[in-house]
Chain A
Amino acid sequence: MNFWILQSLNGLSYGMLLFLLAAGLSLSFGLMNIVNLAHGSYFLVGAYVGLTVMERTGNFMAAVVVGAISVGILGLLMQRLLLRRLTDHLAQVLLTIGFLFILGDLSLVIWGGVPQIIPKPPLFEGPIRIMESVFPSYRLLVIGVGIVVAIFLWWLQDRTAMGANVRAAVDDEEMAGSTGINVALLMTVVFGLGAAMAALGGVVGGAFLTIFPGQDMDVLLLALVVVIIGGLGSLKGAFVAALLVGLLDNFGKALFPELALFTIFAPMAIILAIRPTGLFGRA
């Protein structure tokens, strides 16, 4: 019993992190048709910026905010100045993979190769007891952050004019444009928001997963898996898929530690075979 509660909470906290990471990727691909392989770099750079802020100020909130905003601006610029001009997927892949390497090497130069960990906020340093088992309170915080962000995004998409515009643009860009929606601006804002969320994930995750060079590639792979399972451009899909991958990954590792890499790719293959557009994707 204990085992299942503990592992489920673990999986949920990891899944929430994946959601923060993958939501932006799913949106930029679904809405703007941009294949952005530099998305993993947003996570890594966000984490490193957060680390620096945390070391300077000791304030975790400041680390989260500065990390998210600075990377959000980086995303805005990338989309506005470069990606917007490219409609060809191959060109996008080449450009963004170039950014992946450049940003990765820049981080290596600036922050070095030593694995780092962001100090947790003092309030969430210790473990708490749940029934008979002990669970790190920080991971509960991560679950909480994930839920809050998910609700916020749902509200933004379903209950605001901006969200309605986004939905319209996803369905039919030209028609949306002809009704007076500034699609170009909308896209830039959504892209920046996606980058900022990945960076938020980086700061939050950097406090319990450690940050190290090469992590950008690792998380990009997971984000792609989540997007494929969830379906392109679907926030609901990204949320469900992220939790699914988080739980599968965790239970896979706990139950069959030697098959650790296999347990997330096998479900992806199965889902692709049954539903090629992903769980919530539209054909």
Chain B
Amino acid sequence: MKTRIGIIGIVTLVFMAIVVACTPAAAPTPTPTAPAKAAPAPTTAAAPAATPTAAAPAAKPTEAPAAKPAVTTPIKIGFLTPLVGVYASLGADMRDGFLLYLDQKGNTLAGRKVEVIVEDTEVKPDVGLTKAKKLIERDKVNMLAGVISSGVAAGIADYVTSQKTPLMLTNAGDDPLTQQKASPYIFRISFANSQNSMPLGEFAYKKGYRTAVLVASDYPAGWHHTGGFARTFTEAGGKIIQEIYYPLGSPDLAPFITTIKQDANVVHTFSAGADGLKFVTQYAEYGLKGKIPLLCNWCTTEDMLDKEGDAAVGVVNGYPFAPSLDRAQTKAFVEAFTKKYNRPVPPQAEFGYTGAMAIDAALQATKGNIEDVDAFIKALEGVQIEAPRGPIKFDKYHNVVQNIYITEVKKVDGKLVNAVVETAQNASQFWKWSPEDYLKMTQYADLKGKWVK
């Protein structure tokens, strides 16, 4: 019997080690480096020439490039995305959005064939880094794109910069990557985490809410999203009365949801993917729906909305894209995505699609010469697009400037939709502050746990 206990003990220890090692949460926390060297020097040269406005997403065949491209070998793009784990659904949607655009262009951008190599990050920073190394060193890709999790993005940022490989982030919103730790090689077409939530904090105050509870998955994206909300909400005069952080991908959120203070005016959460599904359904199961209004970032994206069902009705969300937008480009994109993949269109699909659009625009401007990395980056900096989500461009820290939509889940003809109730036009990652003032403020990672006064 003794040996048996020994064996089962050893086996358990090994599994503990595996599970702890695989816990996606704690990514290397961004160290507060001096913001001085941060901003990549703003491009001054030849800006107007390099502002190609990409065609509307309607599947227009690319016109033959004016000049023959210098190189004719295929362009290789490494695409990092999670295909298992808490963000598996968002990862697949982001990838398919990216591939949809290339498909519409016949897999040819600026006269060169494009080859995409997809790698699964499993939402784990260490796996993400291994896969990034594999793509750059073994597959010799020209650039990287993708990434869902802020943790993974923070984990690979230093490496891709050291390799001078351009990286187009099509979701991961880790704030410091386009702020204190901005890199000349990293662009972000999706959002900085708090870019989504700062408008929501002001919205909450305007709605008359004065006390709020923050609930978030415990990793950078959670701290940034709730932090942005808390920053503008408390500035307006609101009060944070409780903060709850749960491990990303917790099997059960009930122990956390049941501790929410019942006298709060409003609850704000960052819960995405499977966590969003659990949060919204359990929030209703425990009778909080209808009692305390729920504002969130990402908890009702279209990949989960149908599974959440009526529990999601009335939930308010803040992000840069909703498939219900009344724009020609949005409709064309949603139609194309639905036709090809036959499933709902969450924002991540659009981020992938638009990421490919931006790459295309920069390639057109450089005649497909992605090998000249500096010229390619300069071209990317000048990109302005009429994307499905609205007009977008990059700020000088390489983060996207765009509309942020505040939506509410409504039932229209028996179908659940995120309907836009308010739009923050051309919102930058610095919201109403100047970049200099904003970067002087304490970072969200350090403010976590200190919002309750």
Contact = CB atoms under 8 A, between A and B. Distances in A.
Contact of B86 (A115, A117, A249, A282): A115
B390 interface: no
Contacts of B83: 113
B250 interface: yes
Contact of B246 (A35, A212, A257): A257
Given A134-B286, A138-B285, A221-B12, A212 B255 contact: no
Interface in A239-277: 249-251, 253-254, 257-258, 260-261, 265, 272, 276-277
Interface string B258-296: 110000000000000110011001101111000000000
A221 B5 contact: no
Interface stretch (A3-11, A157-165, A192-200): A3-11
B287 A209 contact: no
Sorting the interface of chain A by its residue count into under 10, 10 to 19, 20 to 34 or 35 or more gives 35 or more
Given A129-B287, A250-B254, 17 more contacts: A35-B8, A35-B11, A108-B84, A115-B88, A115-B273, A117-B281, A136-B285, A139-B254, A210-B277, A212-B85, A215-B251, A228-B12, A251-B255, A253-B255, A254-B259, A258-B218, A261-B23
A213 interface: yes
A283 B284 CA distance: 48
B246 A260 contact: yes
B89 A265 contact: no
Contact of A272 (B9, B18, B88, B251): B9
A123 interface: no
B19 A113 contact: no
B15 A220 contact: yes
Contacts of A212: 84-86, 88, 274
A165 to B, nearest CB: 21
B20 interface: yes
17 contacts: A3-B258, A10-B252, A10-B254, A93-B7, A112-B88, A113-B89, A113-B92, A114-B88, A136-B286, A209-B252, A212-B86, A212-B274, A213-B84, A217-B15, A253-B250, A253-B255, A257-B218
A98 to B, nearest CB: 14
A278 B247 CA distance: 29
B256 interface: yes
Contacts of B259: 3, 254, 257
Contacts of A214: 84-85
A228 B6 CA distance: 10
Residue with the greatest number of chain A CB neighbours at <10 A, chosen from B92, B277, B303: B277
Interface string B429-447: 0000000000000000000
A35 B6 CA distance: 12
Contact of B18 (A35, A213, A217, A261): A217
A254 B256 contact: yes
Interface of B is mostly: helix
A99 interface: no
Contact of B258 (A89, A224, A254, A261): A254
B245 interface: yes
A42 B219 CA distance: 31
B7 A89 contact: yes
A134 B12 contact: no
Interface string B8-34: 110110011011100100000000000
A172 B88 CA distance: 48
Nearest to A278: B5
Given A6-B258, A10-B254, A115-B273, A257 B8 contact: no
A114 B5 contact: no
Given A113-B83, A213-B85, A282-B1, A224 B246 contact: no
Interface string B81-110: 001111011011000000000000000000
B451 to A, nearest CB: 15
B453 interface: no
A29 B85 CA distance: 30
Given A212-B274, A261-B247, A225 B12 contact: yes
Contact of B15 (A10, A209, A221, A257): A221
